[in-house]
Amino acid sequence: MEAQAKECCCAPLTGGFLQFFQDVCDPRGPNAIHKFTDILVLAFCAVLCGAEGWVDVELFARSKLAWFKTFLELPAGIPSHDTFGRVFAALDPDAFERGFTAWTTALAGLGRGKLIAIDGKSIRRSFQHAWDQSGMAHLVSAFVAGNQLVFAQLLVKDKENEIVAIPQLLELLDLNGSVVTIDAIGCQRSIAQKITDGGGDYLLAVKDNQRTLHRQVRALMDELILESRDDPDRAMPHGFAQTVDGDHGRIETRRVWISDQVQWVKLDEPWPRLGSLIAVESVREVGKSLSVERRYFISSITGTDAARAAELVRGHWSVENQLHWHLDVTFKEDQRRIRSGHGAENFSRLCRMALNRIKSDKTTKGSVRTKRLRTGWDEYYLFKLLTT
């Protein structure tokens, strides 16, 4: 194994993830003593292996200096943690994102029929001052549930500005044949139009930010649910599906109704290619406690396939379990205190790059945590993830 590792590391690094970042400009002046590509590779490897900040990145790189010298130039040795911090704070996040998106697409293409869940997440300690937390970084990500990969990410100043960021995020993606799901903040005609113009379908949560639409959809679907229970012959044509899950004393029943009778939605301005209305009822039983929640959605998907609708609605929340959970627990994103310039956003992008690369590797079994440990211990495995 050692001979194999030496053999694969003897040449300068030109392939792998680095080829997708050739157009990212070095933000420093012409007198910089450290190569920009070396800094990118060192930072990515360090985060892949468990680094949680720039001090960790420097420590990791110095501990593996002899190994890195087998394929990196390192004309001035290992950069200091301050150098890493300054470079990534100044690095153009849009250019970095374009490289990230191209690299992720090469890892695993979107493909037709994929569910793209778009959701936002704040980095809780990224604000500049404890007395003013309004400046914390808020990132909007496009997560493909089938591949469990982040395909794009953009920074917004606050949660309200997700409405501005989502169309920009959609422009980075090939939407043809995919289904895009967004929570209520993204329930905007312009966003729905952008999705359908891109050849995709939308499924959008409806709440009071679209008051008239929400009132009509809720009234129609509540009436459908009531009639389907009391007098099925009078109910609008619809589909129905139900699932029951239970563990640790909790029982959850999910019921989904879908109708394609969208002509009963009367609005001054129609929604682009509106095809169906959906209601999802969740009944949770924990001991003697019972809670009922009903949510409403609109979609450009036609027909009354309730099982498919249930799959899409539930698939949207995979962004919480498969992405946000790993970023918070495995990568400790909310504990990170990187606050200068674009540093918080770009370090978060390094974490998403590491998470994508680990999840896309099917040659080794194990959890994300297990694979990260192996990258730190097994240089051959680390080099394989870096170059393929």
DSSP string, 328-355: IIIS-GGG----STTHHHHHHHHHHHHH
**Tens digit of each residue's pLDDT (9 = 90 or more) over 346-373:** 988 898 888 889 888 888 888 888 999 9
Q: What is the pTM of this model?
A: 0.78
CA pair distance 202, 274, nearest whole angstrom? 9
**pLDDT number for residue 381:** 94
Q: Which of 348, 300, 45 is nearest to 196 (CA)?
A: 300
Right CATH number for 108-323 from 1.10.3720.10, 3.30.930.10, 3.90.350.10, 3.60.140.10? 3.90.350.10
**pLDDT number for residue 151:** 75
- Where is pLDDT greater, at 159 or 19? 19
**pLDDT number for residue 329:** 63
Q: Residue 133: phi, psi to the nearest 5? A: -90, 5
> What is the average pLDDT score of the chain?
84
Contact criterion met (CB below 8 Å) for 350 and 50: no
Mean pLDDT over 13-22 rounds to 76
* Strand-strand pairing, 201-206 and 289-299: antiparallel
Helix (H) or strand (E) holding 285: strand 276-286
Instruction: Give 3-state DSSP helix, strand, coil % of the chain, rounded to 5.
Output: 50, 20, 30
Delimiting residues of CATH 3.90.350.10 domain(s) in the chain: 108-323
pLDDT-derived band at 17, boundaries 50, 70, 90: confident
**pLDDT number for residue 137:** 65
- Where is pLDDT greater, at 266 or 7? 266
Mean pLDDT over 95-110 rounds to 80
Q: Biggest alpha carbon distance in the chain?
A: 79
What is each CA distance from 307 to 144, 242, 278, 310, in whole angstroms?
Answer: 19, 8, 11, 5
**Tens digit of each residue's pLDDT (9 = 90 or more) over 183-216:** 998 999 999 999 999 999 999 999 999 999 999 9
Encoded tokens for 86: 């300054």
CA pair distance 25, 7, nearest whole angstrom? 31
**Tens digit of each residue's pLDDT (9 = 90 or more) over 150-190:** 777 777 765 557 788 889 889 888 888 999 999 998 999 99
- Where is pLDDT greater, at 153 or 217? 217
Lowest mean pLDDT among 157-171, 243-257, 326-340: 326-340
Lowest mean pLDDT among 30-34, 132-136, 213-217, 322-326: 132-136
**pLDDT number for residue 303:** 94
CA pair distance 380, 68, nearest whole angstrom? 12
What is each CA distance from 214 to 220, 262, 320, in whole angstroms?
Answer: 10, 13, 24
CA pair distance 37, 44, nearest whole angstrom? 11
Flag whether pLDDT at 10 surpasses 50.
Answer: no
Q: Residue 127: phi, psi to the nearest 5? A: -75, 155
Highest mean pLDDT among 276-280, 322-326, 369-373, 383-387: 276-280
Q: Is 11 exposed, middle or buried (0-12, 13-18, 19+ CB in 10 A)?
A: exposed
Flag whether pLDDT at 252 surpasses 60.
Answer: yes
CA pair distance 163, 159, nearest whole angstrom? 9
| CA 68, chain centre distance (Å) | 30
Q: Which of 87, 71, 69 is nearest to 33 (CA)?
A: 87
pLDDT-derived band at 322, boundaries 50, 70, 90: low
Percent of the chain's residues with pLDDT above 90: 48
Flag whether pLDDT at 305 surpasses 90.
Answer: yes
